[in-house]
Amino acid sequence: MTLPERIASKTLVWTWGFYAFGSLYVVGPVLAWILGALAVLGLYLGPAMREDLRPTGPIPAMIWLWIAGMSVMLVALWVGHLDWNLGLKGTIKSSIGWAKGWALLALFPLAGAILQINRDVLIRAHCRLALITLIITPILFVAPMIGLPERIFTSPLKAVGGPGPEYFTVYFYTLDPSTWTPRWQFYAPWSPFAGLLGVIMVLFALEEKHRGWLIAGCLAGVAMILLSKSRMSLVALVVASVGPRMMPLLLRTWAWMIGAAIVGSMAVFWTPLNNAITRFWSAFKSSRADSTRVRETLQRIAHERWEAEAFWFGHGKVASGTHIVEYMPIGSHHTWWGLLFVKGLVGFLAMAVPFAVHLCITLKDAAVHPQGRLPLGIMIVFLILSMGENIEIEAYLMWPALMLLGIHLREMAERAPRISPSAPAPQLQPA
C-alpha cells in the first residue's frame, strides 16, 4: 500500500480503539487536514515528492465546487457573527468548528481525488472494521441485561471543544427516554447516526470481492441498523442499496415500457395504494411520536425565525430551545433548516449547489458504470441523513464515504477518453 492508503486503512480499522479513548472527534479532523495537506503538497511539488505521494492528476472540477462552497460557508459564518455582534471569541470558536466540520466535506474528497488511494483498500478496511464490530456487538447487547451502566466514561479530550460531551463519551448503550428501552449507538455519539453508519457499512461491503468479508460487512451493518432502532436507517438501507443497482434500467427500452404500464395502471390502483402509503407513513411517524413532534417543531421554529430575522446570512449559531422542543437547540436535527437558521440563504446555497451537482454526477455514472453504484448510494444516505441530522457535525465519522466520493471522481477522469491534439481524426469506414 502507498503511504496515504496505510494512513487511511489503519485509521479506519482502529476506529473502536480511538472510540475507547473518546478521541474519534479529534482523529477525524486531524486526518482530514493531514491528508488534505499531503494532497496540496503533492500538487505543488509534483515529481519532487516520493513516488507514492505524487498526485494522480489535477483537481477535478467537482472538488473545486466543494472547496468554493465550503469557503462561502465560512464567509457566511463571519458575516452572521458580525450581524449579530457575537464577538471575536465566538467568531474564532465557530471558525474552529468550521475547520472540524464543514471543511471536511471538501478536504476528504480532495484527498481521495488526488492521493494514491485505491477504493478496494478502503472497502477492505471497512470490512475489517465490520468484523471487529461483530465481535464487540454481543458485549454491548448483554450490557443492559447484566446491569452494566450506560456510560463508561467521558474523555478529558472534551477540553479541546466540540458540539457536546457525548462526542467524547464512551457508552455501552443508552435508554430511549420515551420508552426506557435500550438503544445502541456503537461508536457514534447517538443511535440514529449509528444506524446510518451501518447503512454505509453495508454499501461498502456490497462492493467487496471476497465473500467472507462481504458477509461480515453486511452482518455488522445490519446489526448496527437494527440495534440503533433508527427509522431513517431502515429506509436508507433499502433505497441506497437497491436504487443505484436499478439505475442501468434507465437505459433499457423494456424498462421504460414496463414503467409506462405501471403508471397507466395507477388509474385503477391509485386509491388503495395511496391509502396504504398514508397508513404506513402515519405508523412510521407514530412509532416514535415524541421524536417526530420535536423534529417538526424545531423545523417550524427555524423556518419562521430565519425568514423573519436573518434571511441572507442567518443567526451565526444555533439558539437554545425551550421545553416545547425538549431544550434541543434551534437549528439542529436538520441540515437544510439548520443551514437557513444559522447561515441564511447564502450558507444554504453554498451546500445545496455542490451537493445537487455531485448527486447528478453519481446518478449519471451509476446508470452507465458499476463504479457509480457505491458513490450514488453514499449520496442517497447523505440526502436522507440531512433530513434528520446535521451533516457537518457528523463528517468526522463519515470520512471513508467522503473520501470515496473523491476517489470516484478520479476514476471517472481515468475512464474518460483522451484524444491527443496531434492524433488524426478517426475515419468513418464504409458499411
d(CA 138, CA 135): 7
Beta bridge partners of 154: 169
Count up the domains in the chain and report the number. 1
Q: What is the pLDDT of residues 273-330, one digit of tens each?
A: 667 667 765 665 555 556 677 777 888 888 888 888 888 888 888 877 766 666 678 7
Q: How many CA atoms lie within 13 A of 366 on its CB side?
A: 25
Using alpha carbons only, what angle is made at residue 38 by residues 32 and 43, rounded to the nearest 5 degrees? 125
166 burial class (0-12, 13-18, 19+ CB within 10 angstroms)? Answer: middle
CB-based contact 353:66 (threshold 8 Å): no
Q: Is residue 269 part of a domain?
A: no
d(CA 122, CA 128): 10
pLDDT at 221: 95
pLDDT < 50 regions, the chain: 419-421, 428, 431
pLDDT at 96: 92
Alpha helices in 287-391 (DSSP H): 289-309, 335-368, 373-386
Q: Is residue 270 part of a domain?
A: no
Dihedral angle sign, alpha carbons of residues 322, 92, 66, 378: negative
Q: Is residue 158 part of a domain?
A: yes
Q: Is residue 277 part of a domain?
A: no
User: Helices then strands (H, E): number in the chain?
Assistant: 15, 4
CB-based contact 333:300 (threshold 8 Å): no
d(CA 47, CA 54): 7
pLDDT at 431: 44
d(CA 410, CA 405): 9
CB-based contact 219:182 (threshold 8 Å): no
Q: Is residue 429 part of a domain?
A: no
H-helix or E-strand spanning residue 267? helix 253-286
Interhelix angle 399-415/373-386, nearest 10 degrees: 140
pLDDT at 162: 77
pLDDT at 241: 93
CB-based contact 357:330 (threshold 8 Å): no
The whole domain housing 121 covers 3-251+289-413
d(CA 188, CA 224): 10
